[in-house]
Amino acid sequence: MAIDLFSGAGGLSLGFEMAGFDVVSAVEYDPVHAATHLYNFPLTDILCRDVARIDRSDLLKSAAKGWAKHNPDAGKWDGTVDVIIGGPSCQGFSAMGKRDVDDERNKLIGEFVRLVEQVKPKAFVMENVPGILSAQYEALLGDALARFRAAGYVLADHSRPLDAADYGVPQRRKRVVFIGVLGAIDAPVPPAPTHDEPVTVADAFAGLPSLVGREGYEGDLFELNDEQLRIYTETTNAYLCSLREYDRKNFAHPRPVNPRVLTGSRVTEHKAASIARFAGVEEGRVEPISRAWRLSTGAPSRTLRAGTGRERGAFSASRPLHPKEPRVITVREAARLHSFPDWFRFHTTNWHGHRQIGNAVPPLLARAVGEAVLSALGIDPRHSNQKRIDGGDAKLLELTPTSAAERLSASTDEVPRARRRVSIGVVPRSSTEDSLAG
């Protein structure tokens, strides 16, 4: 069983579930993300809390609740935690940011270490951007690793960032993964690449319908007509099978699926002039005004970005252009590029949905890491443990930050507060969202 700190919408959670773990508890201080996690993982107990304000007791109480939901007939939990996983906020280390050594978010690594020290799981996994290996963070990272070792953890080699594209994700996305096993005789081994040839955008978008003529006001649910449904259900490839099928590599709990309704399909409304410009951009090229880049069907996507939360000004990251249509991609298309299966849902607004994906660890990369942890612990997952999970409450995906905080009983002094944007030259978000393309 696993506990996910800094869970976001659940990329790490899903990957570890696919590997064979039950994620019994998740901690996420953003109420919108926490509500989305609860929708997709209704058996997981969610703590919408600031991780700096929780301790061992809080985590174990939450884990006990989640364990009971996963194992209603198994009696009392023995208190053993197999693994704590999490990706402390990476913006302080990101090459896309300022790389500020004194960024408050960098301290979250210390909070992750503290909870591992207190709970003493059999293993831990901490994920972050390659920038964390930069020279200016040597002291901060060195202190964290020294504390892990002092607590009895043997660490895997973390010198080589893992590229999601090497693990079947149709996106170039590099991450540093720290794996530690308590009292191990030999150092755990990072996951070896699973794919020699990259999965492409064409593989990811296979079977999805054209959305030309669909406007943003029509919502995020798209009902397929008979011909679209036929193409959607009959189209398959190795990548889609890795997301849809439950086999020796996918131990995720089955979720209900309505193949006729495609979620995350709200199309951004662009001005006519923008549409005309987008139509003239070749695959792999950048549109010079918006600086939006067009996806190439024969290659993986570039790294999808998240932008910032409302406590950091709510700035939106650039969204790539669809490889064939004159628009930026939808949330569902972004999810396909990130290796989320089609049953996984995100917040119904484009802004929150894309941010949730951009912040997430790609599930297929997370699954490979989870399999490496299972191997190090000598655990053999079993399909007999799978339970079909009913769909969550769809209203969770429509909540505002305020209503989500109320729904999750989050303390107002722990959740992120909106910060007014006062940046010169920044175009405010509007109904057209053209600024989101670049």
The token duo for 42 is: 């209704």
Written as one letter, the residue type at 411 is S
CB 353 within 8 A of CB 167: no
90 tagged catalytic: yes
The Cα-based distances of 205 to 16, 27, 49, 239, 296 in angstroms read 24, 32, 36, 10, 11
Cα(354)–Cα(318) distance, integer angstroms: 10
The rounded distance, in Å, linking the Cα atoms of 34 and 26 is 8
Q: How far apart are CA 134 and CA 113, in angstroms?
A: 19
CA distance 75 to 34: 28
Q: What is the DSSP letter of 10?
A: S
Q: Furthest-apart CA pair in the chain: how many Å?
A: 63
Work out the angle between the directed axes of helices 56-70 and 108-119 (0-180°, nearest 10): 70
Cα–Cα dist 355/181, whole Å: 32
Quote the distance between the C-alpha of residue 363 and its chain's center: 7
Structure tokens at 115: 């909870």
Q: From the candidates 1, 51, 90, 361, give the one annotated as an active-site residue.
A: 90
* Lookup result for tokens 């939901």: 69
| DSSP class of 167 | G
CB 165 within 8 A of CB 201: no
Q: Which residues are catalytic?
A: 90
